[in-house]
């Protein structure tokens, strides 16, 4: 007998949250309240919503950081790749669920790039031959030759995030969660990250991205989930969502999808220039006005 839940066959489900509520041990209010969500295998899902609405908390439930690292009160059931997350030690999830964080530094264990890409595979207990084969394949697939055997400390934000993604790719997980992965990236690096996600999609990976920057995800996400105050309030297909106009998005507390504030807060950090005692303090050369930036999608 086939078990159907919410229209999805069980064998097609990658992750499932059923009536999940969570309060961090040191949190006064609950971070999530009764969230039910099913993510199909091969789906690329965007979690969006204002700061503090619970996006990161959902990613932590999917990669097991909750309840195995972050303590608190958890109720409901989280099942990831057929495993009940509460009963699965986090090391048993490594190799099945990969994570990319906002600040790549927070996920580095090594000081050089090659060792860092291999680290996750070593941790999974793979044989050296297999690790080297995966390393070679990842470096070739992601065109990382120039970044090999370099100190992590000398890399740009974009290069660090690429190495973090390469470490995840080498582990060949079925589900990949990314939490605000573009926070420290410039526009070129965002475009490269978008290519990496495209290739993961082509490999049939299930991908969940928590993001407040939306423009770069146009054409990548199959489904968009809007969260508010720890609950899912609306869901859209990718097509529906990326056709919304700025005022509708603004009404939902979201940034514009194209240009505008998305680019104004780019990591170059130049958002305003104040004259200082009549002297020229900052000179912008070859400055591209925000309105004419390309729409990277
Ligand atoms: N480590 C933590 N300890 C205590 N409270 C937390 C922690 N992380 C997040 N929270 C709280 O949980 C709620 C949801 O946060 P989060 O999932 O980080 O939202 P988002 O990623 O959408 O900004 C917020 O009220 C936040 O303050
Ligand atoms: Mg967050």
56 lines ligand 1 (CB under 6 A): yes
What's the pLDDT at 8?
56
Question: Which residue has the CA at smallest separation from atom 12 of ligand 1?
Answer: 31
Question: Which residue has the CA at smallest separation from atom 13 of ligand 1?
Answer: 31
What's the pLDDT at 113?
95
**pLDDT tens sequence across 84-121:** 999 999 889 989 999 999 887 777 888 899 999 999 99
Higher-pLDDT residue of 297, 133: 133
Q: Does residue 150 sit within a domain?
A: no
d(CA 158, CA 194): 12
Q: Does residue 104 sit within a domain?
A: no
For 151, counting Cβ atoms within 10 Å of its Cβ (0-12 exposed, 13-18 middle, 19+ buried), the class is: exposed
Could you tell me the residue range of the domain that residue 198 belongs to?
13-96+173-292
What's the pLDDT at 46?
98
d(CA 121, CA 265): 36
Q: Does residue 46 sit within a domain?
A: yes
**pLDDT tens sequence across 22-71:** 999 999 899 999 999 999 999 999 999 999 999 999 999 999 999 999 99
Question: Which residue has the CA at smallest separation from atom 24 of ligand 1?
Answer: 52
Q: Does residue 166 sit within a domain?
A: no
The whole-model pTM stands at 0.85
Q: Say how many domains are in the chain.
A: 1
What's the pLDDT at 227?
97
Residue 289, pLDDT > 80, answer no
Residue 261, pLDDT > 70, answer no
d(CA 33, CA 18): 11
What's the pLDDT at 9?
59
How many residues appear in the chain?
297
Sheet (strand 72-80) strand order: 32-40, 13-24, 72-80, 83-84
Nearest ligand 1 atom to alpha carbon 70: 1
For ligand 2, the distance from its centroid to the CA atom of residue 218, given in whole angstroms, is 20
Task: Output the domain CATH number for residue 50.
Answer: 3.40.50.300
Phi, psi of 286 (to 5 degrees): 50, 40
User: Of 20, 23, 25, 27, which is best to mutate to test ligand 1, by the most ligand atoms within 8 angstroms of its C-beta?
Assistant: 27
- Percent of the chain scoring above 70 in pLDDT: 83
Higher-pLDDT residue of 9, 130: 130
What is the average pLDDT score of the chain? 85
7: pLDDT confidence band, cut at 50, 70 and 90? low
28 lines ligand 1 (CB under 6 A): no
Q: Does residue 160 sit within a domain?
A: no
Residue 266, pLDDT > 60, answer no
């Amino acid at each position: 007998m086939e078990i159907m839940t919410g229209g999805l066959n069980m064998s097609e489900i990658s992750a499932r949250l059923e009536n999940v509520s969570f309060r961090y041990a040191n949190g006064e209010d609950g971070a999530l309240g009764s969230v039910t969500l099913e993510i199909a295998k091969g789906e690329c899902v965007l979690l969006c919503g204002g700061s503090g609405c619970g996006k990161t908390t959902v990613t932590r439930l999917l990669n097991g950081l909750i309840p195995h690292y972050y303590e608190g009160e958890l109720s409901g059931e989280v099942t990831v790749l057929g495993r009940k997350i509460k009963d699965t030690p986090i090391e048993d999830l490594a190799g099945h669920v990969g994570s990319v964080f906002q600040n790549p530094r927070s996920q580095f264990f090594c000081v050089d790039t090659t060792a860092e890409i291999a680290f996750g595979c070593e941790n999974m207990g793979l044989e050296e031959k297999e690790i080297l084969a995966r390393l070679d394949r990842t470096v070739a697939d992601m065109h990382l030759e120039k970044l090999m055997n370099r100190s992590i400390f000398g890399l740009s934000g974009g290069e660090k995030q690429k190495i973090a993604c390469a470490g995840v790719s080498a582990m060949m997980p079925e589900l990949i969660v990314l939490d605000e992965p573009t926070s420290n990236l410039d526009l070129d690096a965002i475009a490269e990250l978008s290519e990496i996600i495209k290739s993961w999609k082509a490999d049939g990976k299930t991908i969940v991205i928590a993001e407040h920057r939306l423009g770069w995800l146009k054409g990548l996400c199959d489904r968009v989930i809007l969260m508010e105050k720890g609950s899912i309030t609306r869901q859209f297909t990718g097509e529906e969502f990326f056709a919304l106009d700025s005022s509708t998005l603004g009404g939902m507390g979201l940034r514009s999808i194209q240009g505008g504030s998305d680019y104004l807060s780019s990591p170059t950090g130049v958002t305003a220039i104040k004259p200082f005692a009549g002297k020229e303090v900052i000179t912008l050369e070859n400055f591209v006005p925000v309105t004419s930036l390309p729409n990277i999608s």
